[in-house]
Amino acid sequence: MKLPKFLKRKRNIWIIAILIIIIIIGFFVFGQKNNANSIQTGFATKQNLQETVLSTGQVVSATDLDLSFQGSGIIKRVLVTEGDSVKQGQVLASLDQSSALASLTSAQGTLAQAKANYEKLINGPTQNEVQVLQNAVASAEVNLGNTYNSAQSVLNSAYTAVYNAYASVVSVQNSNFSTSDQQSIRVQNNKNNINDKLANAESSVSRATDANTTDSAISNLADDLNSTFGSLQIIRDQCDQGIYYSKVSVTDKASLDAQKTAVSAALTSINSLQSSIASYKVALQTAKDNLSAKKAKPRQEDIDLAGAQVLSAQGQVDSAQVILNNSVITAPLPGTITQVNIKVGEQATPTKVAVVLQDIGNLHTEADVSEANVASLQIGQSIDYTFDALGPDQHFSGKVLTINPASTVISGVVDYLVKGSFDNVPGIKPGMTANMTILISQKNNILAVPSTAIINKNNKQYVRVIDNEKMKIYHEVQVQTGIQADGGLVEIVSGLKDGQEIVTYIKP
C-alpha cells in the first residue's frame, strides 16, 4: 500500500511527531492521579526498640500475716500498738481465759481417773467388787426364769386366738360362701391355711417344756399368728366383694374384725415375750461376762485399752491446753505491727482480723498480668518501677521473681499473679501502688516502621514504598517483620532499606 502523498512531505512528518510527544507528556502530567493529599507517609529508620508489658500492682510484705484469735471470747488484754516492733513468740493480745482454764482442769481430772483405772486393772479386783457382779448374775437368772415361767400363759393365749379365728371363719363360710366362685375359693383356701396354723400352734404349745422348746414355740407361734392374720384379712376382704357385700351380715363381718384384733394382740404379746427373753438373756450373759472378766487376770488387750484411755485423757488435756493457747495471740515471726483492730472488752471472733504483722523491711510487688501478655514473661526479666506515692519521675529497677502457674479470673479476664523484686526504696510501704514496666526484649539500631504501615494479605506482609515523593505514587514491597515494639513500631527484618519513604495511612 502506498502512503498518501501528503505524508511524504517532511513538514507533515514533523507535525505528527510533535503531536505524539505532546500527547505522551500530557498523559504523564495530567493523566496520573495525584495522591499527595490523601496519603500520610513516614520513613523506615533505624531505632532502638523495646517490647514491654505494663501492669499495675501493689507493694507487698514478705511477711504479711493477719492474726486473729482461734476462739471466741471477751478480749481482756491488748499489749501492742501500731508501729511496735515485736519478737517471735511475743504475746500480743489475750481473751478472758477463765472458761478455758476450767476445761483444762476438768480434762486433767479425767486424766488422773484414767491413770487410776489403769493402776487398778493391774492390781486386780477387790472381793467386794466380785460379790457385786455375782449378785448381778443371780438377779439376771431370776429375771430370765420368771419370764420363761410366764411364757406358757402367753403361748396358750396365742393358740386360743388362732383357734377362735378358725371357728369364726368356719361359721362365716358355712353361712355365706357355699358356691364355687372365686370369693368362696379364696375363703376355703385361707380357712385351710388357718387350720394348718392351728395344728402347728397346738403342737408348739404342747412341746414348750423347757427354755429351748419354749423359744422355738414362741418363734413358731409368731409365724402362725402372722399367717393367720393375713388369711383373716383376705377372708374379710371377700366379704366386701360383689354380691357378698350385702350377703355377709354385719355381725359376721364384725366377728372377723374382732378375730383380727385378737390375733394382732396375741402377736404383740408373743413379740413382747420374745423381746423380753432376748433382753434378759443378754443381761444374764453380760453379767456372767462381767464376772468372768473381773475374776480373770487382766488380759494384755485390757491393759492396752486402759493405757489407751490414759492416752485419750491425755489428748483431752492437750486439747484443753490448745483451747487455752487459742485465747492468746503470739507473734509467729519477728516484724512490725501495722494494724490493731481490737479493743479490750469487745467480743472477739475467729473470723475477725485482730492484728496485722508485717516485715516492712522485706518488700516485693505483686501484679495481675492478663493471659495475653503472661506468655511473654520470664523469671529474671527487668522491671522498671514508678510509685504513685513518689510521682512518675522517679524510676526504680527490679526483676521478675515468680509467675504463678495458676490463673484467677478478674472481671471476666484470665490473669496470672506475677511477683517482682525491687531495690530498697525509702518511704515505700506495704499496700502502695506500683506501676510496673516489664522489659520483654530489646534491640538497638534496628530498622523499624510504624505498625500502621504493615499490610497483611494472603498470609504475607507488605509495605507501600513511595516512588514519587511529590505525587506520592507507591508500589507494594513484601517484608519480613520482627518484634512488635512499644510506641506502635515494628521491626523490619528484610524488604526495606534505611531512609525509604513509606505509606503509613491512606484516607478513605
Q: What is the mean pLDDT of residues 26-43?
A: 62
Whether 351 and 257 map to the same domain: the answer is no
Check residue 193 and give its pLDDT.
Answer: 96
Which of 307, 342, 357 terminates a domain? The answer is 357
29 domain residue, yes or no:
no
37 domain residue, yes or no:
no
10 domain residue, yes or no:
no
Phi-psi region of 444 (alpha: psi -120 to 50; beta: other; left: phi over 0): beta
CATH number of the CATH domain containing 337: 2.40.50.100
Place of cell 499496700: 431
Return the closest-CA partner of residue 221 out of 146, 157, 170. 157
Angle at alpha carbon of residue 351, lines to 350 and 357, rounded to 5°: 85
30 domain residue, yes or no:
no
Residue 26: is its pLDDT beyond 50?
no
Q: What is the mean pLDDT of residues 97-116?
A: 89
Count CA within 13 A, CB hemisphere, residue 120: 12
Q: How many domains does the chain have?
A: 4
Residue 35: is its pLDDT beyond 70?
no
Cα–chain-centroid distance for residue 344?
37
Whole-angstrom Cα distance, residue 344 to residue 92? Answer: 12
Check residue 10 and give its pLDDT.
Answer: 57
Q: Given pLDDT bands bounded at 50, 70 and 90, which one contains residue 253?
A: very high
Whether 107 and 139 map to the same domain: the answer is no
CATH number of the CATH domain containing 210: 1.20.140
CB 42 within 8 A of CB 501: yes
Question: What's the one-letter identity of residue 491?
Answer: E
Check residue 15 and give its pLDDT.
Answer: 62
Check residue 3 and give its pLDDT.
Answer: 46
Whether 448 and 473 map to the same domain: the answer is yes
Whether 312 and 241 map to the same domain: the answer is no
Check residue 118 and give its pLDDT.
Answer: 85
Whether 457 and 407 map to the same domain: the answer is yes
* 114 CB neighbour count, 10 Å cutoff: 19
Check residue 6 and give its pLDDT.
Answer: 46
Q: What is the mean pLDDT of residues 19-28?
A: 54
Whether 244 and 265 map to the same domain: the answer is yes
CB 7 within 8 A of CB 445: no
Whether 289 and 402 map to the same domain: the answer is no
Check residue 31 and give its pLDDT.
Answer: 43
Number of H helices, E strands in the chain: 10, 20
Whether 69 and 167 map to the same domain: the answer is no
Whether 240 and 376 map to the same domain: the answer is no
381-425 pLDDT, tens digit each = 888 888 888 888 888 788 898 888 888 888 778 888 888 877 777
Whole-angstrom Cα distance, residue 325 to residue 69? Answer: 10
Whether 258 and 291 map to the same domain: the answer is yes
Check residue 14 and give its pLDDT.
Answer: 56
Q: Given pLDDT bands bounded at 50, 70 and 90, which one contains residue 378?
A: confident
CATH number of the CATH domain containing 453: 2.40.30.170
Residue 360: is its pLDDT beyond 80?
no
Whether 348 and 419 map to the same domain: the answer is no
289-325 pLDDT, tens digit each = 888 877 878 888 888 898 999 999 999 999 888 888 8
43 domain residue, yes or no:
no
CB 218 within 8 A of CB 197: no
228 domain residue, yes or no:
yes
Check residue 173 and give its pLDDT.
Answer: 94
For the chain, percent helix, then strand, then coil, each to nearest 5?
50, 30, 25
Q: What is the mean pLDDT of residues 345-365?
A: 81
Whether 119 and 166 map to the same domain: the answer is no
185-202 pLDDT, tens digit each = 999 999 999 999 999 999
317 domain residue, yes or no:
yes
Task: Find the helix packing angle between 300-326 and 98-123, rounded to 10°.
Answer: 170
> Which range of residues forms the domain containing residue 181?
134-295
Check residue 89 and give its pLDDT.
Answer: 86
- Phi first, then psi, for residue 62 (nearest 5°) are -60, -35
53-93 pLDDT, tens digit each = 888 888 877 677 888 888 788 988 888 888 888 888 888 88
* DSSP 8-state symbol, 8: G
What Å distances lie between residue 114 and 104, 128, 302, 322, CA to CA?
Answer: 15, 21, 13, 20
36 domain residue, yes or no:
no
